Amino acid sequence: MKQALIVLENVYLIFRRGWLLSREQVEAVAGVSLAIPEGGILALVGETGSGKTTLGKLVAGLYRPTQGRVLFQGQDLWAMDRRAFLQYRRAVQLVHQDAFAALNPVRTIYQSLKAPLLHHRIARNEREARERAAELLGQVGLTPPELFLDKYPHQLSGGQRQRVLLARALTVQPRLIVADEPVSMIDVSLRLSILQLLRELNRRMGIAILYITHDLATARYLAEEGQVAVMYLGKIVEHGIFRNVLGEPRHPYLQALLSAVPVPDPRIAQTIRPASLQGIDPPDPRRPPSGCRFHPRCPYAQRICMEIPPTLEGPADHQVACHFAQELPLWRPPSAASPSQWA
């Protein structure tokens, strides 16, 4: 087992809005424990609003947990001295989905890359900075670099801008890239090449990747050799080695995501209230359901599910948070046998 680069210990992030009577709070992340191994890939999958971006920002040190700890190489982020914290902020780079918004429109690509190179003294002067910037553009597949260095973001395509963002992340020689829906805003035909690039950065440079997505197909493409965590309303409901989890999903939510038929076994459907998951919107995160947060949508819910929140149980390579994980019928998604159906 590779050493953990980042560890989340029972992390909560609660957003609070308004005052007195209009005061409301959202538990965007509600007791998450996770580890990202050095050089590993973890896909974080879930619907919009499940807390993925918030979790990504907690990992990148942009949010301080309301409760719980985030550890970087064993050290609590929020108890580090300033120097160690700055080192950490360099080591973990966040890449947003909206590359256009993330790049300064009045700076050329070279200027955007030069700033961190000089600031962190990775380059000592303009000449070195330009050489290094060209090298980085080469590494992200923008070749020949001279064609791109003096362009402005609006002169590039969405896919090229996403590559520039990755080049900018690489300026500081990170150990982890948090890629938050990096391909959701670019043309479908270019998505695969960006994911391929992320995979290459992982393989060639040993950079760990936290890949955040609502899309299981791209998660599979990137993290098939790695791990996956499935998030639902602020909690991890299933987690482990990608092949184990997707090959034999145990949580009713993941089974439903993977199945066109919400209730895999008709015998169960007769004995337990059947529910079509597609028809019901995710509950309001300001008022999460009691007990298991998934219970209003779960075809197997029983009384205990409304009262007691299940915890993640099982061996590290496949954990599930469901009171009935061991009792529900084993079900294998038909697509597991034929990966082409995912693409």
Ligand X SMILES: Nc1ncnc2c1ncn2[C@@H]1O[C@H](COP(=O)(O)OP(=O)(O)O)[C@@H](O)[C@H]1O
Is the previous residue joined to 144 through a cis bond, with omega within 30 degrees of 0?
A: yes
Of ligand X, ligand SF4, Mg ion, none, which one sits near residue 322, judging by CB under 5 to 8 A according to partner kind? ligand SF4
Q: How many residues in the shown chain lie near ligand X by CB under 6 A?
A: 13
Q: Which of 273, 209, 290 is nearest to 242 (CA)?
A: 209
Out of 46, 182, 240, 289, which residue is the one contacting ligand X (CB under 6 A)?
46
The region of 52-60, 68-76, 187-195, 246-254 touching ligand X under the rule CB under 6 A is 52-60
Least distance to ligand X, CB of residue 112, Å: 25
The footprint of ligand SF4 (CB under 6 A) covers 251-252, 292, 294-295, 298, 300-301, 305, 310, 322-324
Give yes or no for residue 37 binding ligand X (CB under 6 A).
no
List CB contacts of 74: < 8 A, sequence separation 6 or more: 7
Of 124 and 286, the one with the shorter C-beta distance to ligand X is 286
Of 53 and 202, the one with the shorter C-beta distance to Mg ion is 53
Of ligand X, ligand SF4, Mg ion, none, which one sits near residue 300, judging by CB under 5 to 8 A according to partner kind? ligand SF4
Site of tokens 């009935």? 324
Of ligand SF4, Mg ion, ligand X, none, which one sits near residue 295, judging by CB under 5 to 8 A according to partner kind? ligand SF4
Out of 54, 93, 213, 218, which residue is the one contacting ligand X (CB under 6 A)?
54
- Output the CA–CA distances (angstroms, integers) from residue 198 to 6, 163, 210, in the order listed: 19, 10, 10
Least distance to Mg ion, CB of residue 52, Å: 5
Of 17 and 119, the one with the shorter C-beta distance to ligand X is 17
Question: What φ, ψ does residue 220 adopt, rounded to 5°?
Answer: -65, -40
Of 51 and 65, the one with the shorter C-beta distance to ligand X is 51
Separation of CA 302 from chain center: 31
Cα gap 186→67, rounded to integer Å: 35
Least distance to Mg ion, CB of residue 165, Å: 16
Cα gap 239→200, rounded to integer Å: 24
- The pair of structure tokens assigned to 254 is 């993941």
Hey, what long-range contacts does 267-276 have (CB within 8 A, 24 or more apart)?
Answer: 268/299, 268/300, 268/328, 268/329, 269/299, 272/299, 272/300, 272/301, 272/302, 273/299, 273/301, 274/299, 275/299
Give yes or no for residue 53 binding Mg ion (CB under 5 A).
yes
Of ligand SF4, Mg ion, ligand X, none, which one sits near residue 51, judging by CB under 5 to 8 A according to partner kind? ligand X
- Read off the DSSP letter of residue 165: H
Residue 45's SS3 state is: strand
Least distance to ligand SF4, CB of residue 298, Å: 3
Least distance to Mg ion, CB of residue 94, Å: 12
Of ligand X, Mg ion, ligand SF4, none, which one sits near residue 26, judging by CB under 5 to 8 A according to partner kind? ligand X
DSSP β-bridge partners for residue 29: 13
Chain contacts with ligand X (rule: CB under 6 A): 15, 17, 26, 28, 46, 48-54, 285
